[in-house]
Structure 1
């Protein structure tokens, strides 16, 4: 029976090598398919139960060996919505069944893929080149909190991002101990100060607590400008997103060196309301707080460093409930040869309404939206799933995989992996390696046919003996 067994064994060898060649062919065909995972072939011998001194090599069987966990090289595409996973994990995706726009119905089943060439369709869904729709969780753009607990198909529309009224101005600056105003004369003590009386016969612009009106009359603008120094400007917004430019000016009102009743250096902050105001109209408003510094130039009042801005209307825009935050050391009074305010930072937290300009994907898997008003906000968290046995996933068309009992349940989260935005993972097929395997497979197949030919000749010799 040895010759007949050799025939059947050679046939299994040919079948196994044919199976291997089929896998090699598929790997080469998909060497340029994004996210493709090659299928290797493993061989297993089939040995009949025989006595110890009569054992034979036996037949062979071929099995597929998955490479789902072997990463392909990332390729930069310059498409912001593309992403490649650097490390373990799969994108969670779904399939469309029917409908369009907000009425689109999906299969509501989680599938998994490494193909990250996602791009927006006409309805705002992120879909890859094989037609699978990306899943994740929406993020509230205002609070930054993730919405919901289960991944759903992501749909990002170009809705308008609402305006936010300015509530705080961040201010960091140094005010000169001796302000070089237009009226300042080093030989005349107090000439650098903003004083009452003859300086402003119409109205004392200092704080009400100091006996002033807290406003600069339009008739006194020139006098006021000669007794104060610029403090910088910043654009703020009301609840409708309308912009107004806030111009700041500092005026020193007392020197501690002059002696009682002054014991500290005191300044007043003014905000321009209408620089073209006529007589009897308000040109500048006082913040209404005495800003004081100790002998080391550190601000001692107001406590906490917050200076409330005056409620006012600038250019028809109502500005109210704004506070200037300086911290304890951001606003100082130190010597400065220029005699002018050195504003290191002026910022604010408001913005006008905006529309979505572009999106990108961060390393943490967030879909980041950049809006026309300059705001950069996280819009969604992409769902990433990892498996204890990723190579046991079932392959589907289009580079997708399906969970199996052998693969285990998905573990949601990036873990130690990261996303590379603007990139797509390439096939993990190595053409040179596949050609090497193809040559070996061809030789093994030919060798098996030689065995069949030899067995056939041996059988013919047996039949010739009978004749």
Structure 2
């Protein structure tokens, strides 16, 4: 029976090498397929049960060996919505069943892929080149909190980003110890001060000092000559309407020799109507004395915050009593030091409000967040991409389009990036090495030819047997 066994063994060898060649051809065919994972071939010998001194080499069987966990090269595409996983893990995706737009029906099953060439379709869904839809969790753009606990198909719409009213103005500046106002004269002590009680028809000092807290139109020239500009900033109301807020500083008193020492005192004014005349209010005092000690440190208000009173600028009401705007200095960013220019050195004036905006572009961060950039300058996370890892990633079941399905052997998915990172604007390429596949193809061809030679030899031996019988 040895000759006949040799024939069947050679046939299994041919079958095994044919199977290997099929995998090689598939790997080569998909060498340019994004996210493709090559399939290698492993061989196993099949040995019949026999006595120890009668054991034979046996026949062969071929099996597939997955390379799902072997990463391919990353290719920069410059498409913001493309993403590649650098490390372990798979994108969680789903398949569309029917419907369009918001009525699109999905299979509601989690599939997994390394193919990250995602882009928006007409309905705002992120879909890759194989037709799989990206899943994740939406993020509230206002609060920054993740919505829900389970990943769902992501849909990014170009809804308007709501406006936010200004509540804080971060102010960082140095005020000169000696302000060079138009009236300032070093030979005349006190000429640099506001002197609210002299030259004003209406006292613009704080109400605590007996003033009205306002500069009227008829006193505008006098006020401008006794104060210095402090910068300006644009603030927004709840509807996103912009209003320019101009700051102006006036020194009220210099420190007196002590004890007890009297600190340098300033008043801050906000422009309400710079074109005012007569008794119309032009500037409004924030009605708070701002003081500095002899080291230039702000000592009052103790909180470091200056509240802007309710006022109307250019017809727009700002800083209502229900939501006043605070000028925040933290007690350290506003100082009084000597400055030869005699002017305010406003290093930074920033506020936290903005007008409504529309989505301009979307990108993907290393943490797997879908980041939206809006026309109002806001950059906020819109969604968290779902990434899953498996204890046995090579045991996933392959599907069309570079997708995989969970199996008992692969174990349950572990959701989260882990030590991996997402690289936006990149796509993972096939992990097929053409040169290696050609080498395997040559070896496979030689092995196949050798098996055919075994069959030819066995056939000749059988012919000799038949000739004996004749």
Q: TM-score range by the shorter chain?
A: over 0.9
* Residue 403 (structure 2) aligns with: 400
In structure 2, the residue matched to 1:77 is: 77
For the Cα contact (< 8 Å) 1:216–1:284, is it kept in 2?
yes
Pairs within 5 Å for 1:226-305: 226-257=225-256, 263-305=262-304
**Distance (Å, rounded) in 1 between the aligned partners of 2:260 and 2:392:** 81
* Match 2:435 to one of 432, 436, 460: 432
Q: Which residue of 2 aligns with 1:117?
A: 117
Specify whether residues 228 and 262 from structure 1 end up closer, same or farther in structure 2 by C-alpha distance, changes over 3 A only: farther
**1:365-401 per-position Cα deviation (integer Å, ceiling 9, x unaligned):** 1000000000001100111110000000000000000
Residue 259 (structure 1) shift = 6.6
2:74 and 2:181 map into 1 onto residues whose CA distance is: 61
Question: 1:313, CA displacement in angstroms?
Answer: 1.1
- Return closer, same or farther for 1:318/1:189 CA change in 2, 3 Å cut-off: same
> Corresponding residue for 1:41?
41
Q: Which sections of structure 1, spanning at least 5 residues, go unmatched?
A: none
Residues 1:342 and 2:341 aligned together = no
- Separation in 2, partners of 1:50, 1:261: 112
Say yes or no: does 1:417 pair with 2:420. yes
Which residue of 1 is the match for residue 308 of structure 2?
309
Give the Cα–Cα distance (whole angstroms) in 2 for the partners of residues 290 and 442 of structure 1: 93
1:55-70 correspondence to structure 2 within 5 Å: 55-70=55-70
Higher deviation after alignment, 453-462 or 261-270: 261-270
TM-score by length of 2: 0.98
Equivalent residue number for residue 220 of structure 1: 219
Question: In structure 2, what is the equivalent of residue 352 of structure 1?
Answer: 355
Q: Secondary structure at the match of 2:68?
A: coil
User: 3-state SS of the aligned residue for 1:304?
Assistant: coil
When normalised by structure 1's length, the TM-score is: 0.98
Q: Is the 8 A contact 1:254 1:262 kept in 2?
A: no
The corresponding residue for 2:388 is: 385
Question: CA deviation digits over 1:217-256, x for unaligned, max 9?
Answer: 1111111111111111110001110001111111100001
Task: Name the SS for the 1:23 alignment partner.
Answer: helix
1:46: Cα distance to partner? 0.5
TM-superposition CA deviations, 1:149-201 (whole Å, max 9, x none):
0111111100000000000000011111111111111111100000123321x
**Superposition deviation, residue 310 in structure 1:** 2.0
User: What's the Cα RMSD here?
Assistant: 1.1
Give secondary structure in 2 for the equivalent of 1:197.
Answer: coil
Q: Report the 3-state secondary structure (helix = DSSP H, G, I; strand = E; otherwise coil) of the residue aligned with 1:303.
A: coil
Q: Distance in 2 between matches of 1:196 and 1:91?
A: 69
**d(CA) in 2 for partners of 1:453, 1:214:** 112
What SS does the aligned partner of 1:198 have?
coil
Deviation at 1:262, TM superposition (A): 7.1
Determine the structure 2 residue equivalent to 1:453. Answer: 456
Tell me the SS of whatever aligns to 2:451. helix
Match of 1:369 among 367, 372, 377: 372
Q: Distance in 2 between matches of 1:24 and 1:316?
A: 75
1:261 deviation in Å? 9.1
Q: Distance in 2 between matches of 1:197 and 1:408?
A: 83
**Uncovered stretches (5+) of structure 2, i.e. residues with no partner:** none
Measured after TM superposition, the shift of residue 322 of structure 1 is 0.3
Q: Decide whether the 8 Å contact of 1:83 with 1:419 is kept in 2.
A: yes
Q: Partner of 2:303: helix, strand, or coil?
A: helix
**1:441 aligned onto 2:444:** yes
Structure 2: how far apart are the matches of 1:433 and 1:261? 89
